[in-house]
Each structure stands twice: as structure tokens, then as C-alpha cells.
Structure 1
Amino acid sequence: MGWNMSAIVLKDLNISYGTTRVVHDVTLDVAEGESFALVGESGSGKSTILKAIAGLAPDWTGEITVLGQPRGHRVDRGFATTCQMVFQDPYGSLHPRRTVDAVLSEPLEVHGLGNRAARVVEMLAAVGLDQRFRFRFPHQLSGGQRQRVAIARALMLEPKVMLLDEPTSALDVSVQAEILNLLKKLRREQGLTYLMVTHNLPVVGFMCDRMALMNKGRVVEIAPATALHDGSFTDPYSRALYAASGGNPAREAQA
């Protein structure tokens, strides 16, 4: 695949909540243009890693670098143009009393960017929503439409790196595939790098190039997504997770 630059580098990353350490010595390297998954059961520290990269979990040590820029411990406005996060629950992440237009315009206002109306329309189209949705409120949208709006908002500043925290797990199964297909298409069209948290191995098989398997806050194995076809995991925990998914889960997602 010939990637040359790293999009995300984590080196000896430790993250704590108060006195409890939840992530231990995580080191990994996500190449530019790659789609990389953090996989494991809930409570394994996956989402906490995304929060630390996004600047939402300040209590960490080690190194976090995004597109060559070291990440500090504070919210950094310029960082928003490089890296954005899409959360699990699209209802919780959209302001209930703001229209879709206001939600999508806000990042442009904060960063003093013009041509807002045209950019809003263009981004809605990119996520498969037409003009009619522009002046609706979140409660007037389905779960899948809300997640499309959340993805559009994350893309308004044209970041190159997207952090995806279980982006389909709160949605109906029928809608999950639509959103995954949309994310796949956007990655291809906009040259995005994805770091995605999921507990769902079929999603990894469909979306990702490689994965880090996590158990109790540690990375136990980094494996190519092809391991989901041939079962070539080496760590006992990874193998158990794979077996629990019924072996070759990649077939399921293709269906």
C-alpha cells in the first residue's frame, strides 16, 4: 500500500481517570490514508484513546502525534482543522434547538471561514442529504440522518484525520450498513485517515486495513484485517474474540 507518512503516532501512551489508570503503554502507528480499528470489549480503553487524541481526556502521559504535530494537553483550536471526532450517539452530539444549518455553520463561524451557505449545502450532499434537511432540527431526523449530519459537521473544516467512536452502534441494523458505506465512500473521495473504535469484528472486516486488539487497557496484538478471513491471530485473547464472533466475520458485513 506504500504509505509514507504517519497520520497518528501513539508512543507509550498512559491515560488515567483520577488515580485509576485505564490505558497502559499503548504504542501504535496509523499510516496516512489508512483505516485502523481499535477493537475490544467495552471498558478496554478504546474510546479513552480517541478522547485523549481529540483533547477530551487531559490526564495522559507519553506521546501523541497527529500528522507530524505533537499533541498538547489542552484543547487546541487549530487542531480542529486537522482532526475531528464522530461520536457514538448522534442525538447526544447535536444541539437539540439548533437547525442542521446552524450546526454545520458553527465550525465555519468559529474559524472565520466564509461562503458558509454553499459549504453547508455541499457537505449535506456529500453525506447524502438534500436541501430539505437544512433547516430541520435534530428531533425531526431519523437516527441515521442525525449521524449523517454529525459526520458532515466533522468534515466542515476539511480535516484529514477522523476519529470514529462506534459510529453505528446506536443505529438500527438496517441503517448501520448505509452509514458504513458512506464512511467508506468519504474516506476514498477525501483521502481521509480513520481511527475507529468498535467491538464489532464484521465492521472491522468491512472498513479497516489493520486493527489493534485491546484487553484491559493494553494492546495485546496488532493484526491485519485479513486475519478475520484466515484466523491468523497469535494472542490468546484475540483468538478468543475471533472465535466468539463465529470465525470469519468479514463475510457477514459484505452481505
Structure 2
Amino acid sequence: MSAIHLKDLNIFYGDTQVVHDVTLDVAAGESFALVGESGSGKSTILKAIMGLAPDWTGAIEVDGKPRSHGPDRAFSRQCQMVFQDPYGSLHPRKTIDATLAEPLLIHGLKNRDARVVELLGEVGLDARFRFRFPHQLSGGQRQRVAIARALALEPRFLLLDEPTSALDVSIQAEILNLLKRLRKERGLTYLMVTHNLPVVAFMCDRLAVMRHGRIEEIASAEALKTGALATPYARELYRLSNPEETAEEQP
């Protein structure tokens, strides 16, 4: 049984169809990437899984259970999402303590103070960050808080929407290493959206290449590392992401 199963998924924004007949399976414990240029429907798929893009047809199953077309409180215990912009995803007037305690409070979980400190420690922040506000943190620190919030309910699945693209290059590697460690320690399943193929090669086992809302091909990370991709579009993405190959073509 797949951890995440999509079958003939079509997603609409009003009269506009943005995702077409997407079928894929993500295995338990796998890290799977959706890649492609902006507007290819990658993030929309994550939103549909989370119930944030409710106008869809086809099938979405997580852990063998069909998803509804809207937010689901019970589902949030199993699956959480980390958004691209860590500043935009955190309430500017809430302390980090309040942000991390909120999901615990909503779901009636006990020992919230201890759990907040533990969550901060898991993402490499000490307890002195508890009563700060998002504007008092760096971009990397804010994204660590966003990851901690996603982990608060101990989900088994994380949806990662460009989790490092809004960060300085020097900080991106720290967040990617953190995500890789957490996946190993917690046995998490990742479905990640990115346009950065080196990130995919570092983080993921497989990838689906998307274009105009459709899957062009599904490949292994090993195929990505060697450039052994099947479709012209995927090979062009690989070429553009490889500075050495691109430089060789310059006159």
C-alpha cells in the first residue's frame, strides 16, 4: 500500500484546469519530489492533498484512506505542510511559544510547555527563542520554527513546498540537512515541491517531472544524477541546472 496515492487527479481553479490526470505513488518512508517550471501545478497538488484546493476530481489517498475535498482535523494529525515563505506562514503577532503550542492546544495534547521546548530542540533552536516574535528571527530560524510547528502533532507525512527557496544560499544547506535528519529519525515520508534539481539529488529517492499540469516522466534520483532522463523536457531541465554543461555550449 502506498503512503500517498494519486489517481487521475485533475484540479481546477474556477473554470481553469491547472492539473491534468496526475497519477503517482509515494512509498512509506520515501522522499519524492515534484519538479518543473513555475506554473506547472506542483504546489497545487500539495494544496489539494491538504484540502486547500478543494475543486478536484480523481482520487487522493493518504495512508490508504481517501481524502476529503476540504480541511480535516483528524488528517492533520497524520500529514502537515511546510510552506515556502517562513515569514508569511507564521503569525506576526504571536510568539514562537504561542505558534508551537496552538496545534497542541487545538488537539487537546498535554505537557505543552515541555513539548514546545522539545520541538525547538529538535530543529536546533534553544528555549530562549520561545517568547520571541517572527520578526526577531532570521529567515533560517523562522523556517526551523515552521518545521517544528509541522512536527508538533507527530505526523508521518510532510508536504514540503519549496522549503528553502526563500532562504539565503548559505542557510539552505542547513535546512536541507535538518530535514534529512528528521526524516531518518522519525521515519517520515516526504512529498517535496522544488525547481532546484540539486536539492532533489540530495534529498529525494524519486521525482516526477511536471509540465503544464501534467507529469512528463517519473525517474529515480540516480537517473537525475547521471542525466539519464527519458523525455526532452526533463533533459533540458537537467541541462539548465548543470552549469558545467551549459558553459560548454557557450561560444
Name the amino acid aligned to 2:91. Answer: H
Aligned to 1:112: 108
Counterpart among 6, 11, 14 of residue 15 in structure 1:
11
Give the paired residue count.
Answer: 245
Counterpart among 163, 176, 190 of residue 172 in structure 2:
176
Q: Indicate if the aligned counterparts of 2:78 and 2:157 stay in contact, CA closer than 8 A.
A: yes
1:43-100 per-residue CA deviation (whole Å, 9 max, x = no partner) reads 0000000000011000000000001111011211001000000000000000001000
When normalised by structure 1's length, the TM-score is 0.95
Q: Structure 2 CA distance, aligned partners of 1:161 and 1:247?
A: 33
C-alpha root-mean-square deviation of aligned residues, in Å? 1.1
Give 3-state SS (helix, strand or coil) of 2:71's partner: coil
Does residue 189 of the first structure (1) align with residue 180 of the second (2)? no
Q: Indicate if the aligned counterparts of 1:14 and 1:23 stay in contact, CA closer than 8 A.
A: yes
Give 3-state SS (helix, strand or coil) of 2:163's partner: coil
Aligned to 1:136: 132
Cα distance, 1:15 vs. partner?
0.2
Does residue 164 of the first structure (1) align with residue 184 of the second (2)? no
Q: Structure 1 CA distance, aligned partners of 2:225 and 2:155?
A: 32
Counterpart among 34, 37, 51 of residue 38 in structure 1:
34
Q: After TM superposition, which residue ranges in structure 1, 4 or more long, deviate above 2 angstroms?
A: none
Q: Structure 2 CA distance, aligned partners of 1:23 and 1:203?
A: 24
The 1:184/1:8 distance shift into structure 2, 3 A limit, reads: same
Give 3-state SS (helix, strand or coil) of 1:168's partner: coil
Q: Structure 1 CA distance, aligned partners of 2:148 and 2:174?
A: 15
Q: Indicate if the aligned counterparts of 2:82 and 2:146 stay in contact, CA closer than 8 A.
A: yes
1:21-58 per-residue CA deviation (whole Å, 9 max, x = no partner) reads 00000000000000000000000000000000011000
Give 3-state SS (helix, strand or coil) of 1:221's partner: strand
Aligned to 1:85: 81
Unaligned runs of 5+ in 1: 250-255
Counterpart among 216, 220, 226 of residue 222 in structure 2:
226
Q: Structure 2 CA distance, aligned partners of 1:248 and 1:6?
A: 37
Give 3-state SS (helix, strand or coil) of 1:109's partner: helix
Give 3-state SS (helix, strand or coil) of 1:238's partner: helix
Cα distance, 1:247 vs. partner?
7.2
Cα distance, 1:198 vs. partner?
0.1
Aligned to 2:67: 71
Aligned to 1:56: 52
Counterpart among 194, 203, 207 of residue 203 in structure 2:
207
Cα distance, 1:228 vs. partner?
2.1
1:207-236 per-residue CA deviation (whole Å, 9 max, x = no partner) reads 000000000000010000011222110111
Q: Indicate if the aligned counterparts of 2:50 and 2:70 stay in contact, CA closer than 8 A.
A: no
